[in-house]
Structure 1
Amino acid sequence: MKVFGIAGWSGSGKTTLLIRLIPALVGRGVRLATVKHTHHDPAVGDEECRALARAGAVECVVASPRRFALVHEIHPGEEEPPLDWLVARFAGCDLLLIEGYKWASHAKLEVWDPGLGKSMLAPEEATVVALAADDPVAFGALPRFNRDDVAGIADFICQYCQI
């Protein structure tokens, strides 16, 4: 399984890009999964599942004929799981797309919006291998795509990851 990331500052358009990028990759025959890092409460599942988690269950699985979700509660005193630990849990996929984890060691495309007033990651982060930015950028050493160039970004990821 190949691992590739979409990173950038909050509000840069990472999730919007992923929502559009996933069908483009699946349309190319890529079987993929995603890991999304968030600072919000990632409660998933119905109220009964959340109630079990609040009661102290470490993991809850919600299953239906169409999908299942595993929710793992991190209790006080426990650390957020490292990305490597999460990645090791995926099987049967060609590609794992990781949203967030700006400073992790996997290769990533930076989504950058100068309107946020934040500096680019690429000049300081060697794992950034391409940029998605609508405006010209002063850092020109990497392939650059417009944020709407979903087909070009999908082609780049497939080529970069050799899938």
Structure 2
Amino acid sequence: MKLYGITGWKDQGKTTLVSALVQHFTAAGLTVSTIKHAHHAFDVDQPGRDSHRHREAGAAEVILASRKRFALMHEIRDEAEWELPELIGKLSPVDLVLIEGYKNAPHPKIEVYREDRGRQPIALTNPSIRAVAGAAPGHDLRQPVFPLDDIAAIAAFIRDDAQ
């Protein structure tokens, strides 16, 4: 499986870019999975539902399954957060895994950057960022810069650069 990341500061458009890239790559016949890092507590389950009750009762893992999909919920509780390689190991084999977030992980990535958000590009100091999607005028970037809406060019860059 090839891995490629999409990263950037909060509210830059990472999820929008990842969604567009998934559509682009799947339309081209590739199988794609995604991993998204969340910095906050989240729950894909609903209080009061049977699966939520199983977890609350102490189940280490719960699979919620239907005819259309299944979700595996693994309770970390007091363990350390899983590292990216452990999470990747949980995925079924695909052509490409797009990873949203994980700024400091060593895999290659594109930074989504918008000048008007008031932060410096991460690409200035992070060697794992291979390109920037967005606008970075006035910043002396060593990486190529793509227009954020040029999905075909960004996808071609990822295909050539993915490990």
Alignment TM-score, normalising by the size of structure 1? 0.91
Alignment match, 1:60: 62
Alignment match, 1:6: 6
The answer for unaligned runs of 5 or more in structure 1 is none
Alignment match, 2:120: 119
Q: CA deviation at 1:36?
A: 0.3
Query: 1: CA distance between counterparts of 2:135 and 2:60?
Result: 43
Q: CA deviation at 1:137?
A: 5.0
Q: CA deviation at 1:130?
A: 0.7
Alignment match, 1:147: 148
Q: CA RMSD in A?
A: 1.6
For residue 73 of structure 2, the aligned residue among 71, 74, 90 is: 71
Alignment match, 1:88: 89
Alignment match, 2:104: 103
1:88-113 superposed Cα distances (whole Å, 9 cap, x missing partner)? 22232011110000000100000011
Alpha carbons of 1:128 and 1:33: their partners in 2 closer, same or farther (altered >3 Å)? same
**What is the percent sequence identity of the aligned residues?**
40
One-letter amino acid matched to 2:3: V
Alpha carbons of 1:137 and 1:58: their partners in 2 closer, same or farther (altered >3 Å)? farther
Alignment TM-score, normalising by the size of structure 2? 0.91
| 127-136 or 95-104: bigger deviation | 127-136
The answer for unaligned runs of 5 or more in structure 2 is none
Query: 2: CA distance between counterparts of 1:96 and 1:55?
Result: 33
Query: 1: CA distance between counterparts of 2:63 and 2:138?
Result: 45
Q: CA deviation at 1:135?
A: 4.7
Q: CA deviation at 1:12?
A: 0.8
Q: Does 1:48 align with 2:63?
A: no
1:110-141 superposed Cα distances (whole Å, 9 cap, x missing partner)? 00112221111111100000100135352332
**Matched position secondary structure for 1:126:** coil
